[in-house]
Amino acid sequence: METSQTRAPINGVPFVDGNSNGSLTNNTSLAETFDTFLTLLTTQLQYQDPLDPMDTNEFTSQLVEFTGVEQAIATNDKLQELIALQSTTQLNDAVGYIGKTVSADSIILMLQDGSSTINYELGANASEVNILIIDELGETVRTLEGDTEFGPHEINWDGLDDDGKPLEDGLYGFLVTAVDADDNPVPLIQGTAGQVTGVKSVNGQVIVEIGELELELRKILSIKETDTAGGDTDPPAGEDPDPPAEGDSDTPASS
Q: pLDDT digit string (tens) for 12-58?
A: 445 444 444 444 444 455 555 667 767 777 777 777 766 666 666 66
CB burial class (10 A; 0-12, 13-18, 19+) of residue 102?
A: buried
Instruction: Say if residues 122 and 151 touch (Cβ distance below 8 Å).
Output: yes
Helices (H) then strands (E): counts for the chain: 2, 14
* Count of CA atoms in the C-beta half-sphere (13 A) of 72: 12
Q: Is 190 helix (H, G, I), strand (E, B) or coil?
A: strand
Q: How far is CA 180 from the centre of its chain?
A: 34
Local structure of residue 45 (DSSP, 8 states): H
For residue range 81-125, list pLDDT tens digits in order.
666 666 677 777 778 888 888 888 889 999 989 999 999 999 999
pTM for the whole thing? Answer: 0.53
Residue 158: closest CA among 137, 173, 176, 144 = 144
All domains in the chain, ordered by first residue: 4-95 (no CATH), 101-224 (2.60.40.4070)
pLDDT over 80 at 61, yes or no: no
Helix (H) or strand (E) run with residue 58 in it: helix 56-94
- The tens digit of pLDDT for each residue in 148-204 reads 999 999 999 999 999 999 999 999 999 999 999 999 999 999 999 888 998 888 877
Instruction: Output the pLDDT for position 144.
Output: 96
Residue 63: which pLDDT band, with cuts at 50, 70 and 90?
low
